[in-house]
Amino acid sequence: MTDHGGNIYEAARRTGIPERKIVDFSASINPAGVPKSAAYAMKKAIGRLYHYPEPYAEVLSGRIADSIGVPAESVICGNGSTELIYLIPRALRPATVLIPEPTFLLYEKACVVSGVPQVVGFLLEDRNGFDLSTEGFVQAIPGNGADDSQTPLINDRVCTMAFLCNPNNPTGRLIPRKDILQIAEAATRAGCYLVVDEAFIDFCPEESVCKEVAHSPYLIVLRSLTKFYALSGLRIGYAVFHPSIASRIKEHKEPWTVNSLAQGAAMAALDDEPYRRTSLDIMAEEKSFLENGFAGLDIPFFSSRANYYLIKPPKAPQIKLFLEERGVLVRDCSNFRGLDENYLRVAVRSRKENTALLGEMAGICARLS
């Protein structure tokens, strides 16, 4: 995982810069920081550390289910959504998986580790702003056009699956809710499980399709509490399944993967409406500030609905290296399928940090011109 963003520890070893002095734009975490409500809940939970946590975070799962409007058995919590990304192909054992390119790297890795025989890429192109073609993706869905008698079964190696990240990582591009539902309908007709990763949907919550899972046995939605609520170090996320498939998934899941501190923090964070409102206000202001800054430096960027931007500055590898030498990390996107070393991903952080980033980039661009 050394190619994943957010590894300040490796960066500190490589550069000799202390971890506390590194400014990390390579990981897309809410600059508002950990909610005070979550911090307080963790302090209260310390007294319970003597005991095992609930095996499957049952109370937290019920709280999430109530907020979404789905049955409690539909929600499965995990050690970050990453645990669930690995769990789903391991449990359902698809023969073919469709994955956009570029997108989050761990979808493909989870499929390979689980022994999926075939992973098929669906190319998103720079010239189209990395937007997903709904019609094209529908046509590419494995088993598209199959009738009910040919619908794959979860115990069968002919089970198929597709992943979508919405908003997509690293492009920040959003697939409109109506298009996701259109794709989900097509996937259901084809008997293909559609996994929609909504790790960053809290920044545009009206686009979520979580509630639709109750009506669609082939739709699976992943959610993360580590991005919006700045709880990356705790590792907490969840997935929403149709009840008919949730029991099958649970048969393959290890117990006690969500610790007591994470469960307490998640409960508090989900109830913290003032934090949510403040975060959205901060994000709107800082996204506008960064966009104006990139435009002023003539740095091409892709419009984003998430808390990060995919940018394509001239001499991107040199810029990334010079920034790292200054203790500023950005995400090199060269290991994403469909991208190369000319693309960088930059998180949205505080005004002070965003100002410093733009200042550093202005100086570097002047040196390289």
Average pLDDT of the segment spanning 306-324: 96
Give residue 151's pLDDT: 43
**Res 309 pLDDT > 50:** yes
Q: Which two tokens stand for residue 303?
A: 């419009």
Q: What is the mean pLDDT of the chain?
A: 93
Domain 36-270: give its CATH architecture.
3-Layer(aba) Sandwich (3.40)
165 vs 159: CA distance, rounded Å: 20
**DSSP string computed for 38-102:** HHHHHHHHGGGTTSPPPTT-HHHHHHHHHHHTS-GGGEEEESHHHHHHHHHHHHH--SEEEEEES
Tell me the mean pLDDT in the region 288-314. Answer: 97
The encoded tokens of residue 196 equal 């929609």
Q: Please report the pLDDT score of residue 11 as a whole number.
A: 82
**Per-residue pLDDT, 117:** 95
Task: Report the CATH number of the 8-33+273-368 domain.
Answer: 3.90.1150.10
pLDDT for res 2: 45
- In the chain, CATH 3.90.1150.10 covers 8-33+273-368
Q: How far is C-alpha 219 from the geometric centre of its chain's CA atoms?
A: 17
pLDDT, average across residues 334-351: 97
21-27 mean pLDDT: 92
Using a pLDDT cut of 70, give the percent of the chain over it: 95
Q: Phi and psi (nearest 5°) for 25?
A: -95, 5
Residues 6+ apart with CB under 8 A from 155: none
Q: What is the pLDDT of residue 16?
A: 82
Q: Is the pLDDT of residue 319 over 50?
A: yes
Residue 154: is its pLDDT beyond 60?
Answer: no
pLDDT tens digits along 103-113: 999 999 999 99
DSSP conformation letters of 211-280: GGGGG-TTEEEEEESSSTT--TTT--EEEE--HHHHHHHHTTPPSS-S-HHHHHHHHHHHT-HHHHHHHH
**Interior CA angle at 182 toward 181 and 185, to 5°?**
85
Q: How many degrees, rounded to 5, is the angle at CA 167 between CA 154 and CA 276? A: 110
Q: How far is residue 210's CA from residue 225's CA, in Å, rounded to a whole number? A: 14
pLDDT confidence of 18, banded at 50, 70, 90?
A: confident
pLDDT greater than 80 at residue 322: yes
**Residue 196: helix, strand or coil by DSSP?**
strand
Is it the case that residue 24 has pLDDT exceeding 70?
yes
Instruction: Name which of 328, 342, 351 is nearest 17 in CA terms.
Output: 328
Q: What is d(CA 183, CA 328) in angstroms, rounded to the nearest whole number? A: 39
* CATH code 3.40.640.10 region(s) in the chain: 36-270
Separation of alpha carbons 285 and 353, rounded Å: 13
Binned at pLDDT 50, 70 and 90, residue 4 comes out as: low
Q: Convert the pLDDT of each residue in 29-87 to its tens digit.
A: 999 999 999 999 999 999 999 999 999 999 999 999 998 889 999 999 999 999 999 99
Provide CB contacts within 8 A for 174, sequence distance 6+: 166, 167, 168, 204, 207, 305, 306
The 10 Å Cβ neighbour count of residue 147 is 9
